[in-house]
């Protein structure tokens, strides 16, 4: 099984070195890809000096969604079986990755979200944020038919089927996480949550500052409503030959 860790990074020079160290310390031989989203600090040279990760240096800032989607395209080209999305600010803990992989490898889900709210302990974000996250969980549960508690968590693992789908359909916007959940479930993917512990960020600043929270919520709620109004992606119309060829390859192994 080939596992790729994708770290979208925007101005994470202060923390990315320690994140890469913790991933290397796992000793699992996971390939690490940092997608630099037009950082204005030394993120790229920090990663290069560490030497353990591949860097894709985007020419301009695309927003988190565009950066993440680049990682999915890379995964498609390099025949990755499992992709793990990981933050560069130190919030996500390397030793928690296996908890995300377990339901994927057991074949119980296609996408696993690491959730802060299913277990006591660890960092839970500020009060205002938690309020917003609860509202998103409520709205999303109306569309999903079941509850995902941590819709803004970026700590996620995807199987090959989800990688193929998201390389083409990932919401390439700067507020993708909650919409991504609805998009996946609506298109028949099994999305589940698993309890993980998170840490407070080590450096940099969140891409969602407090003053912009209302703007963020308005965009996200609108996006969720719209994605649930869109027709299900017709799998028989999009790139069928490629997907089928890849599936046969997997079977041969």
Partner 1 sequence: MIFDRLLIVAALSSLAFLLLVLELIRRRRLDEGYALLWLVCGLLFLGFSIWRKALDYLAGIVGIYYPPAALLLLLIIGLFMVMIQFSVVITRQRHQIKSLTQRLALLEEEQKQVFKVSLPDDGR
Instruction: At 216, give phi and psi (nearest 5°).
Output: -60, -50
Choose one: 18-26, 72-80, 187-195, 213-221; the region binding partner 1 (CB under 8 A): 213-221
Window 155 to 194, contacts with partner 1 (CB under 8 A): 173-175
Binding mask 41-60 for partner 1 (x = CB under 8 A): ------------------xx
- Beta strand 54-57 with 82-85 is unpaired
By CB under 8 A, residue 106 contacts partner 1? no
Residue of 230, 235, 239, 242 that binds partner 1 (CB under 8 A): 230
By CB under 8 A, residue 218 contacts partner 1? yes
Q: Which is nearer to partner 1, 155 or 216 (CB)?
A: 216
Choose one: 88-96, 116-124, 140-148, 226-234; the region binding partner 1 (CB under 8 A): 226-234
For the CB of residue 143, give the shortest distance to partner 1 in the complex, in Å.
15
For the CB of residue 16, give the shortest distance to partner 1 in the complex, in Å.
22
For the CB of residue 226, give the shortest distance to partner 1 in the complex, in Å.
5
Q: Which is nearer to partner 1, 138 or 222 (CB)?
A: 222
Residue of 26, 138, 142, 226 that binds partner 1 (CB under 8 A): 226
Helix pair 160-169, 240-252: axis angle to 10 deg:
160
Q: Both tokens of residue 136?
A: 């998103």
By CB under 8 A, residue 232 contacts partner 1? no
Q: Which spans of this chain sit near partner 1 (rule: CB under 8 A)?
A: 59-60, 173-175, 215, 218-219, 222-223, 226, 229-230
């Amino acid at each position: 099984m080939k596992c790729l860790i994708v770290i979208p990074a925007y101005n994470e020079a202060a923390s990315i070195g320690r994140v890469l160290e913790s991933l290397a310390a796992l000793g699992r031989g996971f390939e690490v890809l940092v997608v630099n989203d037009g950082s204005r600090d030394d993120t790229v040279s920090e990663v290069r000096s560490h030497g353990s990760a591949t860097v894709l240096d985007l020419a301009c800032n695309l927003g988190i969604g565009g950066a993440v989607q680049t990682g999915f395209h890379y995964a498609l080209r390099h025949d990755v079986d499992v992709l793990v999305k990981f933050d560069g600010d130190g919030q996500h803990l390397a030793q928690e990755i296996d908890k995300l992989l377990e339901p994927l490898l057991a074949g119980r889900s296609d996408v696993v979200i690491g959730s802060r709210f299913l277990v006591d302990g660890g960092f839970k974000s500020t009060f205002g944020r938690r309020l917003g996250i609860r509202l998103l969980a409520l709205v999303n549960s109306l569309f999903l038919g079941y509850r995902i508690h941590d819709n803004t968590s970026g700590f996620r693992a995807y199987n090959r089927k989800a990688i193929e789908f998201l390389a083409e359909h990932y919401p390439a916007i700067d507020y993708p996480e909650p919409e991504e959940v609805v998009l996946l479930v609506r298109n028949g993917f099994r999305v589940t949550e698993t309890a993980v512990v998170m840490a407070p960020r080590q450096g940099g600043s969140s891409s969602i500052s407090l003053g912009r929270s209302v703007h963020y919520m308005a965009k996200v709620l609108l996006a969720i409503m719209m994605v649930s109004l869109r027709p299900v992606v017709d799998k028989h119309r999009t790139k069928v030959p490629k997907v089928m060829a890849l599936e046969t390859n997997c079977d041969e192994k």
